[in-house]
Amino acid sequence: MDSWEFVNNIDLEEDFHIHNSVANLHIWLIYQRLRDFSENKFAHQLREELIENFNAMINNEMEGVDVLRRHKKIEDIDNYLFAIRRNLDFHFFINGCSVDDPAYKLDALVWTSVFHEKVPRYSNKVYRMSAYLLENYYYLKTLSYSDIEKGNIEWGAYRVPANSEQRFTRIAANLPLSPEEFEKEFNSPYKTKKYHYSYRHENELSEENMKKTFVNLCSTAYIQNKDLTVRAENMNLDTMNSEEKKEAMYKMKIELENLS
Radius of gyration of the chain (CA): 20
For residues 216 and 123, what is the distance between their CA atoms, to the nearest angstrom? 32
For residues 4 and 163, what is the distance between their CA atoms, to the nearest angstrom? 21
For residues 24 and 18, what is the distance between their CA atoms, to the nearest angstrom? 10
For residues 191 and 186, what is the distance between their CA atoms, to the nearest angstrom? 9
Q: What's the confidence (pLDDT) of residue 133?
A: 96
Chain centroid to CA 106: 7
What whole-number percentage of the chain has pLDDT above 70?
Answer: 77
What's the pLDDT tens digit per position in 180-206? 999 999 999 999 999 999 998 888 888
For residues 104 and 138, what is the distance between their CA atoms, to the nearest angstrom? 15
What's the pLDDT tens digit per position in 42-52? 999 999 999 99
Decide which of 104 and 248 is more confident: 104
CA dihedral for 97, 87, 171, 29, sign (positive or negative): negative
Which amino acid, one-letter code, is at 165?
Answer: E
Give the mean pLDDT of 91-109. 95
For residues 76 and 71, what is the distance between their CA atoms, to the nearest angstrom? 9
* pTM score, whole prediction: 0.83
End-to-end Cα distance, the chain: 28
Q: Above 50 in pLDDT, residue 17? A: yes
**Mean pLDDT score across all residues of the chain:** 84
Decide which of 2 and 154 is more confident: 154
For residues 240 and 235, what is the distance between their CA atoms, to the nearest angstrom? 10
Q: What's the confidence (pLDDT) of residue 239?
A: 62
Residue 155 near residue 136 (C-beta atoms within 8 A): yes
Task: Indicate the pLDDT class of residue 112, thresholds 50, 70 and 90.
Answer: very high
Task: Indicate the pLDDT class of residue 124, thresholds 50, 70 and 90.
Answer: very high
Q: What's the confidence (pLDDT) of residue 42?
A: 94
CA dihedral for 93, 197, 8, 11, sign (positive or negative): negative
Which of 2-11, 78-87, 240-249 has the highest average model confidence (pLDDT)? Answer: 78-87
What's the pLDDT tens digit per position in 54-95? 988 888 877 766 666 666 676 778 888 999 999 999 999 989
Q: What's the confidence (pLDDT) of residue 225?
A: 47
Helices (H), 90-187: 96-100, 106-113, 124-140, 145-149, 164-169, 179-186
